[in-house]
Structures are given as C-alpha cells and as structure tokens.
Amino acid sequence: PSIQPDNALCSMLQQLQSRFTWNLRKEDMDMESLSTRLKEHIKLQLGRPGAVALSYSFLAYVRYLQNQPEEALSLLLQSEQKTRECYGEESERRLIVTYGDLAWLKYHTGYYLESQTYLPADFRKVNYTRYPSSSSTVLHPEVYGEQGWTYLKFSKSLYPKAIECFLSALEIQKDDSEWNAGYAIALFRTERNKPEPFEKPEDSAAIKQLHQALEINPDDAVLLSMLSVKLGAYKKHEEAESLVEKALKTDPENPHVLRYIAKYLRNQGENDRSIDLLERALKRTSQSAFIHHQLGLCYKKKKIAEQSSKPYKKQMVQQLRHQCIRNLEKAVKIKPSFALARADLALMYGEDKDFDRAEEMFQHCFKMIPEIPDESVCQVIHQRYAEFHFYHTKKPADAIDHYKKVISEIELLQMIPSAKCTLNNWLFLRNGETEEILNVFGFFCSTKVKLIRVSPR
C-alpha cells in the first residue's frame, strides 16, 4: 500500500466507466454459478472475438467480490492482453472499462499511486464519443456495449438495463454486428417463451431483431439457434428447421448452440434427438444447470408420452421419472438460486409420492420469491404448487389459492379438460366432500368459460 487516499482521487475514480461504478450488487448475483460459467467460457473459448477477454474481466470482478483481489488483478491483466491480441491498434476504446476496473481495484487494495496510473489524462476525451458532436454525455459505443454484456451476464434482474445499453450503442453504430447481437440476445431472454394465440411472429421484437442481427452476421450459430426456438413457438417449423440445420453445420460443438436447438426439438416433441444433443453439450460443459434442467424436462415429456399409451409400462414411467428427478437435482445443486428448476423438482417429488421433500422444496421456493425479479418465474412457482395439491395431495382447495395467482382465462381453457376429469373422479370417489369439490370446480367454470355442468353421482 502507498500514500493515503484523498477526496480528489476518489472523485476522479467515480468518473470512470467501470464495473465498480455501475451499481452491480452482490446480492443480485449467484456468485458460484456465475464463476463456474465464466471459467467454462474461458476454457472453451466461446463466443465472438473479444468475448474471452470480457469473460476474464467479468470473472475478475466476481473474484473481487469474493475477497480475492490478487486473482482479480491477474484476471484483469489477462483481459487486457487478450483485448490487445484481438483488437490490435483498435484496442484503446475496448480497454476503457478494463482500466477503470484496474484503477478501482488498486484503490481498494490500498495502492493509491498505482491506481492513479490508470486514470486518463483527459476524462472527457477518453470516456465520451466525439459524435454526435452536439453531445458531451454520449459514451463510446464500446463502453455501452461492454456495459450491456456485463448486465446481461451478471443478473437476470439487469436484463432491462442491458437492453438500454445496446440500444444506446446502436444509436451510434446501427450496423455493428456485436451491438445488434447483444440487443437480440437481451430481447430473446426477456420475451416470454409462449406467445398468446392471437400473436404473430411479426409481433415479436426478439424475432425482428434476431433477423436484423443475422442479416449482418448470417453465420452466428447462437443467433440461428435462438431464432429457431422463437419461430418454433409460432409454429414456423419449415424456417426453424432450416436454421437448425445451418446452426449445426456452422458450429456443431458449441454447447450454447446445442442447448437452444435441443430446446427447440423438445418443444416439437422430438425428445430423443433433444436428449442426444444435450448429452453432447454436457461433454463440453458438464456444470451447466440450464442443460441439466432441459434434460429433466425432456425426460418428463417422455414420461408423459409413455403414460398416454394404452396400456403403459409402469416400470418405464418410474424409470423416466427418476431420470427427470436426477437431472433436476443436478441443476439445483449446480445453481441453488435456480428457482424454476426447484419448482419443477418439487412437483416431481410430489408425483413420486415424496410429499415431505416436495413441500420442503416448495417452501424454499416461496422464500426466494421476494428476490426473484422475473414475475413469470414467481407465477410458475405458484402454478407448480397448485398442481402439486390438485393432482397429487388431492387437496383442491389448497390448490385454488395458488391457481388464482397465475391463471389467465386462456390458460384456464387449456387446463379445463384434465381438471374436469380429475374432479369427476373425486366426485365419484369422495362423496363426503362433494360440496367442497363442486365449489372448487366452480372456479374453473367461471370467467366466461362454458362447460358441461358436473353433478354429484
């Protein structure tokens, strides 16, 4: 450590564009999962040119938050080296944020003189772009872009900020392939997976932007695979299949490509092909909670398909259920904050008649809800808990409280047939509770939904 800090130094540091000044809160991040993913990105050299350099910088900030400043410094210096190797004479604007991080890291570790060596002589010249010339507050697009990637990588709660950053970069460089790709990925992650029945592909901002990004860089296999998922949701299967074929031909071993294509195939009912691709992806990135979750969902769909056959093989159903549970358990172990996987796992415990573990897992999910920024994930937790009671514990009244939190009229229409069948069975088997069950069924019959009246037997 050297000299004492002064207000002037702190004031100058506050002016830097840096992860230390972007309000990245530790409580918004899943540190262990983020660290694991970043190490895999570096090991596998994933992403576009410059992506590995960014991964070093991201991991450096994680290490700082984990009180490992020496490793953080080493990672930042490696990021600087990779950036120079990638961009050569065009490196300086790509290093603005890296130098800001180095200045702050030196400051926090007490090396104040060394911190000052990373300060620019002219903040205005370094931080801000010269165009549009009428503005003195517009950052370089490279800074907006790095900020966008940072928000996109660090926390789901920061996705809206990532969108704003990529839009700011595109206002300056509208045809840049990197900013267009970043904006497309951010929209893909924030847009709901299942469109409403009345929606068309042209209504999707993500589809529009994915097309735009692919016009600039038609061989980006990750974008191709993402677009296939979106088009599949709108039943544009012919175009989606051509994108799948091209993505697999362009980058056949990229685990990100494989996992998105596997998701597309699962959504189309091709569970075996999906499982094969996910298993391939796991060979390169074994610590992916996302892939294990997707595998769990594939085995669940296979189980449901087996149950629908007449007669079905009980042993096969049990085997598929346990394969589903094993993969969901791995997903939760790798990423304890993965609330969606926890809710899916809890429901499968319920189906396996392990009610105590199911209830314990659901209660864990409910404790997580205040910290979950995505309302749709919170709704899934309530829906899974409702399904747990409706189909497994046979407590319909308990289910209704949670169904009411999430179900729209359209979703009611989709679930009416199975609910009607289940309630009819209960009315036949549990005569002493017919009044309560009829009251519950009244919930499903409300909100303008026309059904055949159910009468006690």
Spatial distance between the Cα atoms of 443 and 402, rounded to a whole number of angstroms? 12
Q: Are residues 400 and 435 in the same domain?
A: no
Where does a domain end: 127, 160, 185? 127
Cα 254 to chain centroid distance, Å, stands at: 18
Q: Are residues 24 and 82 in the same domain?
A: yes
Residue 41 is encoded by which pair of tokens? 């990105």
Q: At 130, is the pLDDT very low, low, confident or very high (cuts 50, 70, 90)?
A: very low
- What do you get for the CA distance between the two ends of the chain, in Å? 83
Q: Are residues 29 and 90 in the same domain?
A: yes
Q: Are residues 95 and 33 in the same domain?
A: yes
Higher pLDDT, 413 or 56: 56
Q: Are residues 112 and 61 in the same domain?
A: yes
pTM for the whole thing?
A: 0.83
**Residue 276 belongs to a domain:** no
**What's the structural domain count of the chain?**
3
Percent over 90 (pLDDT), the chain: 70
Q: DSSP characters for 136-164?
A: SSPBPHHHHHHHHHHHHHH-GGGHHHHHH
Q: Are residues 436 and 360 in the same domain?
A: no
- Which has the minimum average pLDDT: 91-95, 137-141, 292-296, 353-357? 137-141
Where does a domain end: 108, 127, 146? 127
Higher pLDDT, 431 or 219: 219
- Give the pLDDT of residue 56: 98
Residue 109 is encoded by which pair of tokens? 């570790």
Question: What value does the mean pLDDT take over residues 13-37?
Answer: 93
- Left (φ > 0), alpha (ψ -120 to 50) or beta: where does 132 sit? beta
- Give the pLDDT of residue 451: 32
Question: What value does the mean pLDDT take over residues 269-288?
Answer: 94
Provide the H-helix boundaries in 285-408. Answer: 289-307, 314-334, 339-351, 355-368, 375-387, 396-403
**Residue 161 belongs to a domain:** no
Residue 118 is encoded by which pair of tokens? 């990373």
**Residue 205 belongs to a domain:** no
We report the CATH number of the domain holding residue 92 as 1.25.40.10
- Domain containing 429 equals 407-457
**Residue 184 belongs to a domain:** no
Q: DSSP characters for 109-132?
A: TTBHHHHHHTS-S-HHHHHB-S-S
**Residue 362 belongs to a domain:** yes
Q: Are residues 381 and 447 in the same domain?
A: no
- Give the pLDDT of residue 95: 95
Mutual orientation of helices 396-403 and 375-387 as an angle, nearest 10°? 170
Residue with tokens 């009912």: 269
Q: Are residues 42 and 84 in the same domain?
A: yes
Where does a domain end: 92, 127, 162? 127
- Give the pLDDT of residue 70: 97
